[in-house]
Amino acid sequence: MRAPIRILARLAALLAALQLAIQPAAAQSILRDAETEKLLQDMVDPLAEAAGLGRGAVEIVLVQDNSINAFVAGGQRIYIHSGLINAADTANEVQGVMAHELGHITGGHIIRSSEGISEATNITIVSLLLGVAAIAAGAGEAGMGILAAGQQAAMGKYLAFSRVQESSADAAAVDFLSKAGISGRGSIEFFKKLQNLEFRYGVSQDDEAGFSRTHPLTGDRITNLERDYQRDPAWNTPNNPQLEERFQRAKAKLYGYLAKPQDTLRAYPTTMTGIPARYARAYAYHKDAQVDKALTETRALIEADPQNPYFLELEGQILLESGRPRDALEPLREATRLTGNTPLIATTFGHALIATENQSNFEEAEQVLKAAVTKDRYNPFAWYQLGVVYAARGDMPRARLASAEQQSMSGQMAMALTSAEAAERGLPTGSPDWLRAQDIAMAAKAELERQKKRK
């Protein structure tokens, strides 16, 4: 019986490998920043419109991961790694990546990946049956050979399917960039970056190696894309200067936020006095608890552009996080006003109002935070802060409801269920808040049941 068991184990391993081949990286941290999210939305909107999806229909999610990667995982959402932003020299390069990922969305590739797995699985099952039959007949080595060949054929079938999808997404990207009037030069430049990385790490570029890849050979992709892009009238269209300027700021800001302070100061030394460099250094100094230097850089930014809400947001954030919430109120209030109550900035403002511990600020905090969660329900920190306000006012049922919202978004389903049921008991029967508490409780129960079954 041991040989068939080993065969089944190998089959299970292959099926798991096929499943993993289509799973995007999961469990990384999501980075939220109002300025960066607005920039990425403005970058993808003309492409989404060209793809027939419409402006605002596609969401960009920034993932904290140093690798150079982007992916889709169902729905109209593109995930971009912070490492990709750091590697890109221009916004146009990132738009090339966005256009490619849009090709996966419009092509339904996440849904259709099950077709590739199904075909590969069929091959594997056939090889399993033949292999077991050979082993049962006494031809053990032959049976194992059949199984191994079947596994290789199955994986090859899936990889070929994946390469077809990638080529399809490349072709779609050409179409979307062309319709949007955006040059494909950035797309080519980014592929060349990827090819240079492959050369550096010794990734084989020959045709035989291409059969073991999920993507077509990078050199072939560059050749095909250059031919298509150079024919397009948009090829010589210059990059949008405002978009490029915003990209350089956001890129420096992201680097300053994620990198070690000493690395940021090496990349952006004090001899560099442009806005991106000051942005990066402000974050580096703030992370290193050098508050005065962080504020000096930030106030130089505000002096250069007094109406920039994101510079004001940064000043307020530094003041708040260094224990000066009262001083943080005015820059955060103005940043909230200038951005039309953008939820992420409004949430920080609401936090600062609460942090003053002045009861007279709590009414404004409640208004600000309620507006924030109305615009963006998926903001756990805003719900937490709103719960603090409700609790301070003695409104415990709504404090419990806010806690349930925050806990459910954070994956704390048992706690969310307890909080939602407690809220439901204290809220007026049939009221919108009562119904919402019921919804959260039912969703939490369902998720806890699913988790129990998986175990």
Question: pLDDT tens digits for 51-66?
Answer: 999 899 999 999 999 9
Residue 272 near residue 298 (C-beta atoms within 8 A): no
Do 221 and 329 belong together in one domain? no
With b meaning 16 or more CB within 10 Å and e meaning fewer, what string describes 6-33?
ebeebbeebbeebeebbeeeeeeeebbb
Is residue 296, in this structure, part of any structural domain at all? yes
Domain-located, residue 198? yes
Residues recorded for the chain: 455
Give the per-residue pLDDT at 205: 53
Q: Are residues 138 and 101 in the same domain?
A: yes
* Mean pLDDT score, 180-197: 88
Specify whether the CB–CB gap between 375 and 410 falls below 8 A.
no
Is there a single domain that holds both residue 344 and residue 210?
no
In a domain, 435, yes or no: yes
8 A C-beta contact, residue 383 and residue 405 = yes
Whether residues 68 and 198 fall in one domain? yes
- In this predicted structure, the answer to whether residue 20 has a pLDDT above a threshold of 80 is no
Highest average pLDDT, of 7-11, 141-145, 170-174, 268-272, comes from 268-272
State pLDDT tens for residues 351-396.
999 999 999 999 999 999 999 999 998 899 999 999 999 999 899 9
Task: For residue 392, give every residue at least 6 positions away whose Cβ sits within 8 Å of its Cβ, in sequence order, or none.
Answer: 354, 359, 362
- Please write the tens of the pLDDT for every residue from 389-441: 999 989 999 999 999 999 998 889 999 999 999 999 999 999 999 999 999 99
Closest to 97 (Cα-Cα) out of 21, 175, 170: 170
Q: Is the pLDDT of residue 206 over 80?
A: no
Query: pLDDT grade, residue 193 (50/70/90)?
Result: confident
Report yes or no on 160 lying in a domain: yes
Higher pLDDT, 189 or 212: 189
Q: Which helix (H) or strand (E) holds 31?
A: strand 29-31
The strand pairing partners of 78, in sequence order, are: 60, 72
CA dist list (Å): 332 to 199, 351, 352, 443: 47, 10, 8, 35
Alpha carbons 159 and 165: distance in angstroms, whole number:
10
What is the per-residue pLDDT for 93? 95
**Higher model confidence: residue 380 or residue 145?**
380
Q: How far apart are CA 72 and CA 77, in angstroms?
A: 6
Neighbour count for residue 451 (Cβ, 10 Å): 11
Same domain, 232 and 349: no
Position 46 pLDDT exceeds 80: yes
Domain tally for the chain? 2
Same domain for 184 and 280? no
| Percent above pLDDT 70 for the chain | 78
CA–CA separation, 124 and 21 (whole Å): 16
Name the band, by pLDDT with cuts 50, 70 and 90, for residue 322: very high
Match 């920190």 to its residue by tokens.
Answer: 381
Q: Show Cβ contacts of residue 55 under 8 Å, excluding neighbours closer than 6 positions.
A: 45, 46, 48, 49
| Residue 328 lies in domain | 260-454
Q: What is the CATH number of the domain that holds 391?
A: 1.25.40.10
Phi and psi, residue 76, nearest 5°: -105, 65
Q: Is residue 278 predicted with pLDDT exceeding 80?
A: yes
Last residue of a domain, one of 220, 236, 252: 236
Name the residue with higher pLDDT: 309 or 209. Answer: 309
Same domain as 271, residue 377:
yes
**Same-domain check for residues 301 and 377:** yes
How many CB atoms sit inside 10 A of residue 341's CB?
Answer: 16
CB atoms within 10 A of CB 398: 20
Specify whether the backbone of 229 is left (phi greater than 0), alpha (psi in -120 to 50) or beta. alpha
Same domain as 174, residue 83: yes
- pLDDT value at position 373? 94
The pLDDT score that the predictor gives to residue 217 is 66
Q: Tokens for 86?
A: 């750091």
CA distances from 156 to 170, 227, 455 (A): 21, 28, 33
Number of C-beta neighbours around residue 111 at 10 A: 9
Boundary residue ending a domain (236, 268, 294)? 236
Percentage of the chain exceeding pLDDT 90: 61
Asked if residue 136 and residue 6 are part of one domain, the reply reads yes
pLDDT at 97: 92
Q: Measured between alpha carbons, how far is 70 from 61 in angstroms, rounded to an integer?
A: 10
Name, in order, each residue with C-beta under 8 angstroms of 301's C-beta and a sequence gap of 6 or more: 275, 278, 279, 282, 308, 311, 314
Residue type (1 letter), 408: S
**In 232-290, which ranges are continuous DSSP H helix?**
241-258, 261-267, 275-287
Last residue of a domain, one of 236, 271, 303: 236
String of DSSP letters for 183-208: -SHHHHHHHHHHHHHHHHTT---SHH
Banded pLDDT at 5 (limits 50, 70, 90): very low
Give the strand pairing for 29-31 and 59-64: antiparallel
| Residues 67-119: tens digit of each pLDDT | 888 888 878 899 999 999 999 999 999 999 999 999 988 887 564 444 443 44
Q: Can you tell me the mean pLDDT for 232-253?
A: 94
Query: What CATH number does residue 213 fall under?
Result: 3.30.2010.10
Residue 290, both tokens: 């050098």
> Would you state the pLDDT for residue 164?
65
The answer to whether the beta carbons of residues 365 and 354 sit under 8 Å apart is: yes
In a domain, 248, yes or no: no
On whether both 228 and 271 belong to a single domain, the answer is no
- DSSP 3-state of 169: helix
